[in-house]
Structure 1
Amino acid sequence: MHIQTQTTPNPATLMFRPGRSVSPEGTHDFDTPEAAEASPLASALFALGDVTGVFYGEDFVSVTKDPSGGDWSALKPDVMSLIVDHFASGAPLFFAGAPDTAPQIDENEEDADIRRQITELLDDRVRPAVAGDGGDIVFHGFKEGVVYLRMQGACAGCPSSTATLKNGIENLLRYYVPEVEEVRAV
């Protein structure tokens, strides 16, 4: 198996592309070793010590390292080896019964059409671009003019994520959905 690596706008995160499907049913973000216990691969990556985040996209794994841990030269071969070993073994990506712990915002039914418009814009215009940078953006709700989003993967903690959220996504949503007044990260 040949794994391609790709830099991201977040210098602490690299994308690893194993040339096969990783998580076709949706993205998954692990930002602590405890959260990674749902996945054998994520657990193994966190066990390397310098890993602070693992993110599964449709066809990639993004790994975030501790910024104070030096450059990628020492960690990258270990990450690649774990990814190759995992996929070569045929092991599942998740342990059976792994919970989904995504927080949701309490919403009222009157805003259902607005939420639909927001999710369509995010799915069609935002998520493909964010995935190209090794991350994802997840809609968590709309309440009283505020859209709640969570940046994941390379986008979480990226120096430009605040600008992306406020200048890019907020402006796009406000333009197409007048009820949107603000975008906030969760």
Structure 2
Amino acid sequence: MNTTAPAGSVSIYAEASPNPESMKFVLNTQLLSDGVSVDYPDPAAAANSPLAQELFKFDYVSRVFLAQNFVTVTKSSDLTWTHLIPELRTFLKSYVESGGPIFLVDPVAGQRAAQQEAAGAAGSAEDQATAQKIIDLLDNYVRPAVEQDGGNITFKSYNDGIVTVNLQGSCSGCPSATVTLKSGIENLLKRMVPEVKEVVAEGITASF
């Protein structure tokens, strides 16, 4: 994929997410390959994305999530989205229309390698096969649904029946994330992969 946004007229609209602190900005152009997303939880993590670096210059932006055709911005301010949306939409439209760089290095290969490494770290050949099944289910069934809400849930590890996932974008810190994780994703994985006993997410402190 091109690491620079295509020049031309760009339309953008804002779409609320289940997380009241996150807003999804949907574009009529492609930023990333389908099925790939990148989460930047802080400015230090955004070294590979000039677009994310520019967004972090807004003092109320605390997290940036980039996907195929949208950007999810999470705020840390008490300011309402009514005041912030016009400013962010204007910035994104101008940046993308001018052909501003999205990434310095295409993140696709790195993400695929990271998933393969995570599956390979599961231990025995049987556990590695189970981990790959889980990754495929998350990619094919969970990711498309969660992206509708401006976020993503990715595989981190599988050990002794316990699946650990990472919450990204609007899913991180979302009040409904625990419910989604336990009643939705955990039930799906238990049904499709009998070896799965529990699904936990990093960054959630509430007890299940």
Q: What TM-score do you get using the length of structure 2 for normalisation?
A: 0.81
Contact 1:23 1:58 in 2 (8 A): yes
Equivalent in the alignment of 1:179: 195
> Contact 1:20/1:59 (CA < 8 Å) preserved in 2?
yes
Q: Distance in 2 between matches of 1:132 and 1:61?
A: 12
Give the total of aligned pairs. 185
Residues 1-186 of structure 1 aligned to structure 2 (within 5 Å): 1-24=10-33, 26-66=36-76, 68-96=77-105, 104=118, 106-110=121-125, 111-186=127-202
Q: What does residue 5 of structure 2 align with?
A: none
Shift of 1:35: 1.0
**Cα deviation code 1:149-180 (max 9, x no counterpart):** 11111111110001111111111111111111
Instruction: Give, as a single letter, the amino acid of the residue that structure 1 aligns with 2:132.
Output: R
Letter in 2 for 1:122: L
Cα pair distance change 1:146/1:94, threshold 3 Å: same
Q: Which amino acid aligns with 1:49?
A: D
Once the two structures are TM-superposed, the CA of residue 96 in structure 1 deviates from its matched residue by 4.1
Counterpart residue type for residue 122 of structure 2: E
What is the alpha-carbon distance in structure 2 between the residues aligned to residue 36 and residue 116 of structure 1?
Answer: 28
- RMSD over equivalenced CA pairs, Å: 2.1
Deviations 1:8-47 (A, max 9, x none): 1111111111211111161000110111232111111111
- C-alpha separation in 2, matches of 1:116 and 1:97: 23
Is the Cα contact below 8 Å between 2:153 and 2:166 reproduced in 1? yes
Task: Note closer, same or farther for the CA distance 1:168–1:45 as it changes in structure 2 (3 Å cut).
Answer: same
What is the SS of the residue equivalent to 1:74?
helix
Helix, strand or coil for the counterpart of 1:152?
strand
Whether the aligned pair in 2 keeps the contact of 1:140 and 1:149 (CA below 8 Å) is: yes
Runs of at least 5 residues in structure 1 that lack an aligned partner in the other structure: none
CA distance in 1 between partners of 2:105 and 2:198 (Å): 38
Question: Which piece of structure 1 moves more, 126-135 or 23-32?
Answer: 23-32
Structure 2: runs of 5 or more not aligned: 1-9, 203-208
Residues in 1 aligned to 2:48 and 2:62: alpha-carbon distance in whole angstroms: 16
Secondary structure of 2:81 counterpart: coil
Task: Give the residue type in structure 1 aligned to 2:180.
Answer: T
What percentage of residue pairs aligned between the two structures are identical?
A: 40
Note the C-alpha offset of 1:97.
8.2
- TM-score (norm: length of structure 1): 0.90
The answer (yes or no) to whether the contact 1:15–1:134 under 8 Å persists in 2 is yes
